Chains A and B, each alone.
Chain A
Amino acid sequence: MKNLKLKAARAGMDLSQDDLAKLCEVSRQTISSIEKGDYNPTINLCIKICKALNKTLDELFWE
């Protein structure tokens, strides 16, 4: 299932997938896969993404 909340939060901060990937120390394709719903990230990566986007886990990853 697509993670539209993540995509919206990233776009809201005017960050590209590449920018967010650099902030989270992962590849751009990994961010793309998470947004498309192709990859289910570990809690560590979820926390990194939340910190980079200044959001909570609930806001980005809880349905």
Chain B
Amino acid sequence: MNAQGFGFIVGLIVGLILVVILFKYANTDKKVKTEYDERQEKVRGKAYMYAFYTALIVEALLSMASICGIEIPVKDYVLHFMGILAGCLTLGSYCVWNNVYWGMNNDRRRYGLIFVIAIIINIIAIVGPAMSGFLFEEDGKIGLPVLNIAVIVMLSVFGIEYLIKKAIDKKADNEEEE
């Protein structure tokens, strides 16, 4: 295993441990698992289904592109993560649009804070290599920074979608009250 691979795996493990700690901190009952009510569970079931299909389609398209000899200027390992991120984007977007953004035991302020920190960390991860000219690897392909950009885009989509949905719901509720 090369140094980059080792670093990547260590980073993933540290990231997972950090996620567990953050979830414990962000849930009011200090549990890692977020609790959902029956409607939310039902919506999430559908969201997981769509997320699975999305990841499947993206992976199939990437495989087809590879078979057809279409060159994508992005490292292979990053491309595979794109399928996972596309699935995550579908899952999150569907949940936000169907009002399943908050679980029963979520501390909204703390989750908001984690959201902002995640965006800042990803921006820092792009700015560093971009300023030192290491955005592209030796073969001219872009590596890890693409993932950071994709994560920022995904989180921004969730944030914007949340604000739009909140405004729509508020308007609908006001109209119903009248």
Residues in chain A within 8 A of chain B (CB atoms): 25-27, 29-30, 32-33, 36, 39, 41-42, 44-45
Number of interface residues of B (CB under 8 A): 11
10 A-B pairs within 8 Å (CB atoms) are namely A25-B104, A27-B40, A27-B104, A29-B99, A30-B38, A30-B39, A33-B39, A36-B176, A39-B39, A45-B37
Asked if B102 is at the interface (CB within 8 A of a chain A CB), the reply is yes
Which residue of B38, B173, B176 contacts A26 across the interface (Cβ within 8 Å)? B38
Tell me how far the C-beta of B84 lies from the nearest C-beta in chain A, rounded to whole angstroms.
28
Q: Which residues does chain A contribute within 8 Å of B37, judged by CB atoms?
A: 25-27, 30, 45
Mostly helix, strand, loop or mixed at chain B's interface? helix
Q: Which residues does chain A contribute within 8 Å of B102, judged by CB atoms?
A: 27
Residues in chain B within 8 A of chain A (CB atoms): 37-40, 99-100, 102, 104, 169, 173, 176
Chain A residue, CB-CB nearest to B40: A27
Q: Which 8 A-B pairs have the closest CB atoms?
A: A29-B99, A26-B37, A30-B39, A39-B39, A30-B37, A27-B37, A42-B38, A45-B38
